[in-house]
Structure 1
Amino acid sequence: MTTARTTAGATPALPPPHPRRWAGLAVLSASLLLVVMDMTVLNVALPEISADLRPDSVGLLWMVDVYSLVVSGLLVTAASLGDRWGRKRMLLTGFSIFGLASLGALVADSPNQVIALRALLGVGGAMIMPSTLSMIRQLFTDPRERATALGVWSTMAALGGALGPIVGGSLLEAFSWHSAFLVNVPVMVVAIGAGLWLLPESRNPRPGRWDAPGTVLSIVGMVALVYAIKHFGKDGLDDTGALGAAAVAAVALGWFVRRCLTRPDPMLDVRLFRGRAFTAGTLAAVTTSVAVAATMLLMAQWMQLVQGYSPLEAGLRLLPEAVGAAVLSPFAPAIAARIGTRTVLAGGLAVSGLGFLVIFFGPQPLAYPTVAVSLFLVGAGMGSLAIASAVIMAGAPPERSGSAAAIEETSYELGGALGVAVLGSVAAVVYRGDLTGSDLAPYGLTGGAAHDTRESLGGAIEAARQLGAAGAGLADRAREAFTGSLEWASAAGGALMLVTAAVIWLMTPKDLSVDNAHD
């Protein structure tokens, strides 16, 4: 019988491992792969959806944002419900909603219907994502096996992000945009059948009373926070709507945390942050998501608008990041056992940070071989997220695995929104600084036309197209400015990850292992 250390140093026997735990992991990993992949598949499909349904600017904004708003708002509630109602039941319900929402694409013929489908997909995703983590916590009672399982889980998340544009590009070359939704349906049907057979049910044996006010506060607070972050990035720090949302988020989330700290049966166990290891793992998840979300978005645009690759070709050229993660994530627990968990956790962030800096310090002008090296290093460093997940999940008792999963998934959601807002703003400032009004005046672009040209590379290329042969120089100048913005955003992301690596090294216990992550 395997054993695990407790805080007092005792070695009580662990519960026996589930006999079908590895088959269950396959179901959980495949579902996560699809959910992550679906996010990027739909991003690739949005231009074709827009061309077909012609939404106005507000409708297009909601098509893009509604998924992340719903997911971020419901993560805490879904995880807490899973602890009480049953984690397997919550996961299978999420599969069902995700599949039915995808099937609804057959009848979607207006922007509002697509927005509704995206919102329903967000409901299903919020049920699925924390449930996969908490189910792994229940299936794998041995900490070292659990760390290996979470390495596989992390690999699937990285592969999903990389395969989404490839699958999306392939589908859109052969079929309509509806295929980006419908591809989910058969996978969800198989996942439901396999989950019913392979996954055990588990729940918190002492769930306590349901906190209805806390539920409302968490949903309102998280939706308001993500909305504020997104609109600060898009519209600036003086945007009235974003300021109002930020105020609502501060009040609601502050009240929510207070309720969680004063209740004996909190909806979200924020006391988990008292553990330095748990906090370090969460910080690693947030920082990685901040850097990766923004730079990957910029790289995809750079490949298509500067290098001239198609969406499918760009997706294939983003694969080195997934390859790096796939190579390192499954072996991260074994490496941590040899050189120390703290070393892998901080070292992985440092490797990813150096990968981003390759973009800034590499040979000029920036070319794809440099980007490929950068992507591989970033992915290799992201292998440490397997250890971060293991530390987060081991830092919570089994009955609170839903809280740990919700905190980790919320960290990724907030990190992604912050990354696009903050690093995206850095890129926008650099782009506009390199494409000044004096650069545009010789082309007859002044006032509103100059503003639109300086807002995005796509706007500049459209302006150059309308100018005909006279606009060739403008397009080249805009592409050069965008390349510079990518380099500076990558430098900022790399610096952030290196600083965070140092902080995590200092705050993480030297003798930390996935067996004692609660210390």
Structure 2
Amino acid sequence: MSTTHCERNIPAEEPRTGTVLTTALGGRRRWAVLLVLLFAQFVLAIDLTIMDIALPGISTQLHPSSEQQLWIVDVYSLVLAGLLVAASSLSDRIGRKRTFLSGALVFCIGSALVLAARSAPGVIGVRAVMGVAAALIMPTTISAVRNIFLDAVEWVVAVAAWSIVGGAGMAVGPVLGGFLVERFSWHSAFLVNIPLMGLVLVAGIAVLPEIKVVKKGPWDPAAAVLSLLGMVLTVRALKHIAAGDEAPAPRLLLTLALALSAGIALLALFVRRCLRAAEPLLEVRLFADRTFTGGILAAFGSMFALASMLFLLSQWMQLVNGFSPLRSGVLLLPAVLSGILSGATAPALARLLGARRVMAGGIAVAGLALLLLFLLRGALGYPLVAVVMALVGLGMGSLAVGSAALMGATPPEKASSGAAFEEIAYDLGNVLGVAVLGSIASITYRLGLDADSLAEAGVDAGLAAQASQSYAAAVSIAREHGLDELASRATASFNGSVVLTSAVGGLITVIVAVLVHRLVPRGLDLQSDE
């Protein structure tokens, strides 16, 4: 595919394939556009963490199964990851402004639909609609920033701001969610999106420029279907372990193997199709650049650690300790506030210590923090949890550096592909952090809470079987029937699942840090124009 440099004005002659078409923006207009894009990122970040606070309320009212709880948290990211490729490619053709505004509108509509949700499947459907909207918004934000800020120094500043705002949204999400859920209902965690994203919609209409990339060939719907089905089947297979149904183990393993095999095969076909296409739906060849690949791994590792921690500890605070949603939100602040601090200082540290050390070191710190929770499990309590959260947050500085590295390695005319890969890395990190570790936590909890031993202790066999499906169910049953022994054993089993799962998450995160260190060049300069 032929590419050209980024044009600052729409040319009069017939543009070549790969030419970026946009309008020239003055300094003030560029920064005004950035503010709109950052606020959209802020709203999406709020929505990402607010669900962790709303989930216990949803569980209490709608009584979702263990698998449905995972779907409520994950379907948003699953749909988002599945549609990112198609959405980012379409944004090149129909324009990033149009794609962005369409996503903002759908996001508002999806948030309002929660009023019609009367069951767990209804909430899952609402989150799926919001995932579609996020797929239209997310890749257009960072790709638009890449096309608007061509100066290397301005680019690093813009990306650092993008990372900081994302961290700020994650900090506000638990507090805002706790305040709303405690005073109103879990529905308010969805409805708050309407005025916030509505403001983005109005401001975007006023200030955003249109950005398109010239494509001569037709759009490839077959590749889009391959990417969607491959992503959905792969992640669905990972979730299947957490289903908690009573199917025989061989049947479960066969289902998992078939789904995983089909998903991986479809993704392999998608990659093959992209490599052979003159104008691929996604520029897979970007992975030939070690800096780009290292940045993608940094994004994945950071989000994997953060999502794992938030999923486990938000439930630990509310279900084990009985903290209110608002208090839980406040107590989660050490992670995201330290993340804001590390995001703000990461570019300067990268200049001082080198981008590779900051990227790999940040992820390693997050992984070691999760391991610390396991090593000091005898002292499990909020002081230890606060230290772990703060260290994980400090590791999030690698997000800003990783984003600047991978998007800096992406040519402007391929910005949508770079943005799609980055968002897929974020969302796969989030999905796998919750799905894989959530599945391990669920299995560990069920193994630790033996129904037979509970029956011997005087707990009805039927109630014991129900309690073994999820900790929330055990707490509810124990309170309703006055079963102190059940509550005690369920709490011990849940605490054990939290620390063991943290160890697994920590090991995976440290491995990612080692890979990032090996991939990223030693002398990488984020502010180089080369």
TM-score tier by shorter-chain length is 0.7 to 0.9
AA aligned opposite 2:297: L
For residue 77 of structure 1, what is the aligned residue in structure 2?
Answer: 86
Which of 422, 431, 436 is 1:408 aligned to?
422
Aligned-pair CA distance for 1:346: 0.9
Stretch of structure 1 that moved more, 305-314 or 61-70 = 61-70
1:431/1:388 CA distance change after superposition, 3 Å: same
Q: Deviations over 1:418-463 (max 9, x none)?
A: 2223323433444345444564244234755444333332233234
1:258 aligns to 2:272 (yes or no):
yes
Which residue type is aligned with residue 355 of structure 1? A
**2:343: which partner in 1?**
329
Question: 1:108: how far off?
Answer: 5.4
Please tell me whether residue 479 in structure 1 is matched to residue 491 in structure 2.
yes
Q: Which segment is superposed worse, 121-130 or 426-435?
A: 426-435
Is 259-268 or 84-93 further displaced after alignment?
A: 84-93
Confirm or deny: 8 A CA contact 2:74 2:431 kept in the other structure: no
- Residue 68 to residue 339, structure 1, CA distance change in 2 (3 Å): closer
Note if 1:297 corresponds to 2:311: yes
C-alpha contact (below 8 Å) 2:53/2:329 kept by paired residues: no
In the TM superposition, residue 59 of structure 1 has moved relative to its aligned partner by 7.5
* Amino acid in structure 2 at the alignment position of 1:319: L
Answer yes or no: is 1:427 the counterpart of 2:441: yes
For residue 228 of structure 2, what is the aligned residue in structure 1? 219
2-structure distance, mates of 1:464, 1:493 = 30
Which residue of structure 1 lines up, in the alignment, with residue 501 of structure 2?
489
Q: Shift in Å at residue 50 of structure 1? A: 6.3
* Structure 1: segments with no counterpart, 5+ residues: 1-14
Asked if 2 retains the 8 angstrom alpha-carbon contact of 1:277 and 1:509, the reply is yes
CA displacement 1:341-386 (0-9 Å, x = unmatched): 1111111112212222332233733111111111111101111110
For residues 517 and 454 of structure 1, do their structure 2 counterparts lie closer, same or farther at Cα, with a shift above 3 Å needed?
farther
**Compared CA separation, residues 181 and 79, structure 1 to 2 (3 A):** same
Q: CA offset at residue 81 of structure 1? A: 0.7
Q: In the alignment, does 2:395 pair up with 1:381?
A: yes
Residue 392 (structure 1) aligned to one of 406, 415, 422: 406
Q: Does 1:308 align with 2:322?
A: yes
Instruction: State the 1:513 CA deviation.
Output: 2.0
2:53, 2:328 within 8 Å by CA — same for their partners in 1? no
Q: How does 1:452-471 map to 2 (within 5 A)?
A: 452-468=466-482, 471=483
Distance 1:501 1:225, change over 3 A: same
Q: Are 1:351 and 2:332 counterparts? A: no
Deviation at 1:41, TM superposition (A): 3.0
Confirm or deny: 8 A CA contact 2:97 2:209 kept in the other structure. Answer: yes
Contact conserved, 1:71 with 1:122, CA < 8 A, in 2? yes
Q: How far apart are the structure 2 equivalents of 1:189 and 1:69?
A: 24
Secondary structure of residue in 2 paired with 1:20 = helix
Which deviates further from its counterpart, 97-106 or 117-126?
97-106
Give the TM-score, by structure 2 length: 0.86
In the TM superposition, what whole-angstrom CA distance separates every residue of 1:48-89 from its partner, at most 9, and x where no partner exists?
556667779998776555423321221110111112211122
CA displacement at 1:265 relative to structure 2 = 0.8
**Identity across matched positions, percent:** 44
SS at match of 1:364: helix
Matches within 5 A, 1:84-483: 84-105=93-114, 114-206=123-215, 208-235=217-244, 238=252, 241-362=255-376, 364-436=378-450, 439-445=453-459, 449-468=463-482, 471-483=483-495
For 1:4, the equivalent position in structure 2 comes to: none
Give the deviation of 1:153 after TM superposition: 1.6
Alignment partner, residue 11 of structure 2: none
Shift of 1:231: 1.7
Q: Distance in 2 between matches of 1:130 and 1:242?
A: 31
Secondary structure, aligned partner of 1:309:
coil
Tell whether 2:524 aligns with 1:512: yes
Aligned length: 502
Cα distance between partner residues in 2 of 1:98 and 1:335? 36
Query: How far did residue 292 of structure 1 move?
Result: 2.4
Deviating more after overlay: 440-449 vs 321-330: 440-449
Preserved CA contact (<8 Å) 2:66 2:469: no
1:18-39 CA-partner distances (Å, limit 9, x unpaired): 5422222221121112122224
* Separation of aligned partners in 1, 2:63 and 2:395: 41
Shift of 1:207: 5.5
C-alpha separation in 2, matches of 1:111 and 1:504 = 39
| 1:130–1:405 CA contact under 8 A, matched in 2 | yes
Q: Output one character per residue of 1:315-366: Cα deviation in whole Å (capped at 9) or x when no partner.
A: 1100000111111102211111111111111111122122223322337331
Deviates more, 1:100-109 or 1:115-124: 100-109
CA–CA distance in structure 2, aligned partners of residues 282 and 41 of structure 1 = 25
**Greater displacement, 116-125 / 328-337:** 116-125
Contact 2:66–2:470 (CA<8 Å) still a contact in 1? no
Q: Distance in 2 between matches of 1:308 and 1:52?
A: 17
TM-superposed deviation, 1:144: 3.0
Equivalent position of 1:21 in the other structure: 30
- Range with greater deviation from structure 2 (388-397 or 431-440): 431-440
* Residue pair 1:71, 1:125 contacting (<8 A) in 2 also: yes
Instruction: Go from structure 1 to structure 2 and tell me whether the alpha carbon gap of 1:355 and 1:65 turns closer, same or farther (over 3 Å shift).
Output: closer
Q: Match of 2:316, as an amino acid?
A: W
CA 317–517 in structure 1, closer or farther in 2 if over 3 Å, else same: farther
Distance (whole Å) between structure 2 residues aligned to residue 152 and residue 267 of structure 1? 29
CA distance in 1: counterparts of 2:65 and 2:366, whole angstroms:
39
Distance 1:257 1:154, change over 3 A: same
* In 2, Cα distance between equivalents of 1:437 and 1:52: 25
Q: Deviations over 1:280-336 (max 9, x none)?
A: 111122222223222321111111122221111111100000111111102211111
> Is residue 341–residue 514 contact of structure 1 (8 Å, CA) maintained in 2?
yes
CA distance in 1, matches of 2:116, 2:420: 33
Deviation track 1:83-133 (CA, whole Å, cap 9, x = no partner) reads: 221112211111111122223445556766655433321211111111111
Distance 2:136 2:232 in 1: 16
Quick one: which amino acid aligns to residue 329 of structure 1? Answer: G
